[in-house]
Amino acid sequence: MSPDIHYSVVIPIYNEEATIPLLWGRLSKVVQRLDSPYEVIFVNDGSFDASLKLLAQLAENNAGLKVISLSRNFGHQCALTAGIDHAKGRAVILMDGDLQDAPETIPRFIDKWKEGYDVVYAVRNKRKEAWLKRLTFKLFYRINNALSEIPFPLDAGIFSLMDHKVIKELQRMPEHNRYITGLRTYAGFRQTGLLVERESRQDGAPRVTLSKLFNLAFDAIFSFSKTPLRVATIIGLFSAASSFIIGAVGLYYKYFLGREFLSWPYGLSTTFFIGGLQLFFLGIIGEYIGRIYDEVKNRPYYILDKKIGFDD
C-alpha cells in the first residue's frame, strides 16, 4: 500500500486491441473524477495482437496508467494475481477488460467502501449473453454454493473492490489453482453486494473459452469443498452393501429355490455401471491429487516480461 494512492484498478487484458481504446475512454472519465489519487494497472496476459503496444502508448501519455506484461498467457486468475501483487492503493478494484464490467460502477463501490465495507462485489444482473451460457453460470453459482463449506454470494464474479487488508490476506494464500472470488469470500471481513447490470461484450467472441470456464469451475469446487470425496465414500459403501445383499439373495435363489436370480444381461449391465462409477470417482480423486501435485511443484503464479509506468 502507498500513502499517496487511494485506489488501484486492476484489469487483465488478453487480445483486446479493439476494446482497449473504448475501455480507457470510459474508465479515464471515471477515475479522473475520483476524490483521491489513483492508479490503473493493465496486465497483458500474453496477448499476441497489438494490445501491449496500445497499452504502452496509453501509459506514455497518461499519468497513473501502468502496464504489466507477462511472459506468456498464464490465465485470467494469475493475471489478476499479478495486478494485485503490484497494486499500491488502499482499495483495489478488479474488473475485466471486455467492458462487460461497466467502469461507471466504480464510484458506487467506493461509496460502499467509505461506509465501512471491506469488500464490495458486483451481483450480476440481466446478463446480455446467450441463454445457455446464462443458465450455465446460474447453475454453477448455485451448485458451487451447495457444495462449498463456506457460503458464496450468488452471481458474484471478479468485479469488486477490496480493502488493502483483504488484499494482504489474499497474498498470504499460496494455492496455485486460484479462484479469487472464492478466496475473497474465504477472507471474510465486512462484505456487501451491489446489483450491477452485466453488459455485453464490445468486440468479438469471449476470450475465455468454454474449457477454461470449466477449469475455473473445477478450481472453485475442488478448492473449497471435500463433498465430492464424501459422496464417493457414501456411494461406495452403498454399492458394497447392495452387492452383498444381491449376492446373498442370488445364493438363496440358486441353492434353496433351485433357479436363477438374475440373467446374465443384468449382471453384465451392473458390472458396467459399477465400473463407470469407479472411473468417475477415480477422476474426482485425480482432480484433488493433481492440485496437490501443482502445490508441491511450487512454481510461480506468473512470470513478468516487462513493467511500464512503475517507479521501480
pLDDT at 157: 79
Beta strand spans in 187-252 (E): 191-197
Residue ranges covered by each domain of the chain: 7-204+300-308, 227-297
Residue 273 · residue 243 · CB < 8 Å: no
pLDDT digits (tens, 9 = 90+) for 181-219: 888 888 888 888 888 777 666 565 555 555 666 666 666
pLDDT of residue 68: 92
- Of 5-14, 75-84, 165-174, 254-263, the poorest mean pLDDT is in 254-263
d(CA 94, CA 179): 13
pLDDT at 11 over 90: yes
Sign of the Cα pseudo-torsion (123, 70, 217, 184, in order) = negative
Side by side, the strands of the sheet bearing 191-197 are 191-197, 119-125, 156-163, 91-94, 7-13, 38-44, 65-70, 304-308
End-to-end CA distance of the chain: 14
Find the mean pLDDT for residues 136-159. Answer: 73
| pLDDT of 277 strictly over 90 | no
Reading phi first (left if > 0) and then psi (alpha if -120 to 50, else beta), residue 302 is in: beta
R_g of the chain, CA atoms, integer Å: 25
| Choices 3.30.870.10, 3.90.550.10, 3.90.100.10, 1.25.40.10: CATH for 7-204+300-308 | 3.90.550.10
Average pLDDT of every residue of the chain: 79
Q: Using alpha carbons, select from 95, 96, 90 the residue that is nearest to residue 114.
A: 90
| Confidence grade of residue 1 (pLDDT, cut at 50, 70, 90) | low
**Helices and strands (H, E) in the chain, number of each type:** 10, 8
